[in-house]
Chain A
């Protein structure tokens, strides 16, 4: 445990001196919180009965008794919160890519592997160092959003929708699972490439399934609800188990020193 904490401390001391990582970790949460708040603010009084007709019928049905304006806002917020879930994917990818490929290029992994740390401890430490900031950023931004939404004029049903089980599941369960998935994916990619930017960009394909959900909802093919979120969570658990297994297999002393490029 002591060794895991030592590595996490080292990772944070080092990786947050990197401007690109700082930008990703600082700017993304800001953007993903302020943008939906701004949209809520500008859409607070407008009569949107016309636009509501444009909403996917499945979504309109899900709105039930809500006013047209509120239904529109809920729809917008839903879309934005999906984008919001990019945070637990992108932040860990940025940190892990720089932390692992960075160590590869400076060849600092070998002295590290020569210490009596187990590779599981090292992988755990690196994963936590990448996942914790992402999870914290997601939770803090969500909290800010929940507090600020009524202030900028979100309709009461919109605020209430933030407290529904689907969003709690998304933010508090799917978020951490996504962060873990992203970290392990980045570890696997990082073992294959020699440039942190390439690692980051390649690993970013991990957001594709999420974008699938965003466009699926826009197109009216799916409606995100608690049931669907449970399905997503189950898939994430499977993906995590698989990726952790693959990541741990790659993260062996011999493989790191002789097979990684």
Chain B
């Protein structure tokens, strides 16, 4: 649905986006993860035909950026970084204006539908300026959906929201995903990317890597298993290390953390050995690295190489 090839944007001497290449499949939620100033907004602006790339090419739903701009704008939905509402106009009026600009056939019907869906129906007559940040964001999401776009660009949809509002917005994005829309989600919230996205691209001016959240974890750290014991004898870590398939073993408090290639086959053997040595095993589980570790690792590597 989204195909990007060597896309580059320069602002004078500054390269904001450097030769970005990626593909997003139909129905996929793609997480575009990067720190502030990484060039996420710039990328979204290029892909929604708001600014022109300096170099490279991109197609959106088969339409070419730079040639079919008008058609692309009509077909995609965008949640801009700042909601940019007309504060003196009512929520309903705000949506009506955009429904008309997008050429929606049943203007009133679509406006009603999304006001209700996002829980703004009761306040539809109130000025948008009187809304809380969370409600403005919901209104902005409604605005992006009025013309039922198959492809959605969401630029940091939960940044600046309180946890409750952020959760509502996230749940709504999950719902959009289940409707089969293709979503390009910019975020610097790792948890959000982890929960919503099928694949994540870690990006800072250049695309550092793309993979599923699970693969990102595995690639960077291998697989690890944690054994929770009632009491831990440091000698057991020694014993575990002595097994040929154990890559590493570490004692941390009352837990033993073991690096394995195939825990499915190797865990039972390890458990048996530990029990033989007198260990009382309470739980066995796979250690999940937080995405944050992975992300920081990539960003750090990048900074290390670049500077």
Real binding pair: yes
Q: How far is the CA of A123 from the CA of B51 in the complex (A)?
A: 18
Q: Is B262 an interface residue, CB under 8 A from the partner?
A: no
> A253, B50: Cβ atoms under 8 Å?
yes
> A111, B89: Cβ atoms under 8 Å?
no
Partner of B52, one of A9, A13, A254: A254
Report the minimal beta-carbon distance from B135 to chain A, rounded to whole angstroms: 16
> B88, A116: Cβ atoms under 8 Å?
no
Q: Report chain A residues within 8 Å CB of B45.
A: 257
Q: Mark A244-256, 1 if CB is under 8 A from B, else 0.
A: 0000000001100
Partner of A257, one of B51, B70, B88, B93: B51
Q: Report chain A residues within 8 Å CB of B100.
A: 2-3, 6
Q: Is A46 an interface residue, CB under 8 A from the partner?
A: no
Q: Which of B56-73 contact A (CB under 8 A)?
A: 70-71, 73
> A106, B86: Cβ atoms under 8 Å?
yes
Q: Report chain B residues within 8 Å CB of A108.
A: 84-86
Q: Is A195 an interface residue, CB under 8 A from the partner?
A: no
Q: Is B159 an interface residue, CB under 8 A from the partner?
A: no
Report the minimal beta-carbon distance from A110 to chain B, rounded to whole angstroms: 5
> B84, A109: Cβ atoms under 8 Å?
yes
> B101, A116: Cβ atoms under 8 Å?
yes
Q: Mark A223-261, 1 if CB is under 8 A from B, else 0.
A: 000000000000000000000000000000110011000
Q: Report chain A residues within 8 Å CB of B51.
A: 253-254, 257-258
Which of B74-82, B183-191, B229-237, B293-301 forms contacts with chain A?
A: B74-82
Q: How far is the CA of A114 from the CA of B102 in the complex (A)?
A: 10
Total count of chain B residues near the partner, CB < 8 A: 30
Q: B71 — nearest CB in chain A belongs to which residue?
A: A116
Q: Is B140 an interface residue, CB under 8 A from the partner?
A: yes
Partner of A3, one of B11, B50, B87, B101: B101
Q: Is A107 an interface residue, CB under 8 A from the partner?
A: yes
Q: Is A173 an interface residue, CB under 8 A from the partner?
A: no
> B86, A14: Cβ atoms under 8 Å?
yes
> A115, B73: Cβ atoms under 8 Å?
yes
> B101, A117: Cβ atoms under 8 Å?
yes
Q: Is A10 an interface residue, CB under 8 A from the partner?
A: yes
Q: Is B124 an interface residue, CB under 8 A from the partner?
A: no
Q: Mark B119-151, 1 if CB is under 8 A from A, else 0.
A: 000000000000000000000100100000000
Q: Report chain A residues within 8 Å CB of B50.
A: 110, 113-114, 253-254, 257
Q: Is B98 an interface residue, CB under 8 A from the partner?
A: yes
Asked if A106 meets B101 with Cβ closer than 8 Å, knowing A111-B80, A111-B143, A114-B73, the reply is no
Asked if A107 meets B74 with Cβ closer than 8 Å, knowing A13-B89, A257-B45, the reply is no
Q: How far is the CA of A202 from the CA of B103 in the complex (A)?
A: 37
Q: How far is the CA of A18 from the CA of B89 in the complex (A)?
A: 12
Residue in A2, A7, A10 whose Cβ sees the most chain B Cβ within 10 Å? A10
Q: How far is the CA of A79 from the CA of B16 in the complex (A)?
A: 57
> A13, B78: Cβ atoms under 8 Å?
no
Q: Is A161 an interface residue, CB under 8 A from the partner?
A: no
> B74, A116: Cβ atoms under 8 Å?
yes
Q: How far is the CA of A158 from the CA of B74 in the complex (A)?
A: 58
Report the minimal beta-carbon distance from B58 to chain A, rounded to whole angstroms: 16
Q: Is B287 an interface residue, CB under 8 A from the partner?
A: no
Q: Report chain A residues within 8 Å CB of B83.
A: 111
Q: Is B158 an interface residue, CB under 8 A from the partner?
A: no
Q: Which of A82-130 contact B (CB under 8 A)?
A: 106-118
> B101, A17: Cβ atoms under 8 Å?
no
Q: Report chain B residues within 8 Å CB of A116.
A: 70-71, 73-74, 101-103
Q: Is B97 an interface residue, CB under 8 A from the partner?
A: yes
Q: Report chain A residues within 8 Å CB of B52.
A: 254
Q: Is B48 an interface residue, CB under 8 A from the partner?
A: yes
Report the minimal beta-carbon distance from A166 to chain B, rounded to whole angstroms: 41
> A10, B89: Cβ atoms under 8 Å?
yes
Partner of B101, one of A14, A18, A112: A112
Q: Report chain B residues within 8 Å CB of A113.
A: 50
Q: How far is the CA of A253 from the CA of B83 in the complex (A)?
A: 18
Q: Mark A1-25, 1 if CB is under 8 A from B, else 0.
A: 0110011011001100110000000
Q: How far is the CA of A106 from the CA of B45 in the complex (A)?
A: 18
Q: B48 — nearest CB in chain A belongs to which residue?
A: A114
Asked if A106 meets B89 with Cβ closer than 8 Å, knowing A115-B102, A116-B74, A254-B52, the reply is no
Query: A residues within 8 Å of B by Cβ?
Result: 2-3, 6-7, 9-10, 13-14, 17-18, 106-118, 253-254, 257-258
**What are the nearest 8 A-B pairs in CB distance?**
A108-B84, A116-B74, A115-B101, A107-B84, A6-B100, A107-B82, A116-B73, A17-B88
Query: B residues within 8 Å of A by Cβ?
Result: 11, 45, 48-52, 70-71, 73-74, 78, 80, 82-89, 93, 97-98, 100-103, 140, 143
Query: 11 extra interchain contacts, Cβ-Cβ under 8 A, other than A14-B89, A112-B101, A115-B102?
Result: A6-B97, A10-B97, A13-B89, A18-B88, A106-B87, A110-B82, A115-B98, A115-B101, A116-B103, A253-B49, A258-B51
16 contacts between A and B (CB under 8 A): A6-B100, A7-B97, A13-B88, A13-B93, A14-B88, A14-B89, A107-B80, A107-B82, A107-B84, A110-B50, A110-B80, A111-B140, A114-B78, A114-B80, A115-B102, A116-B70
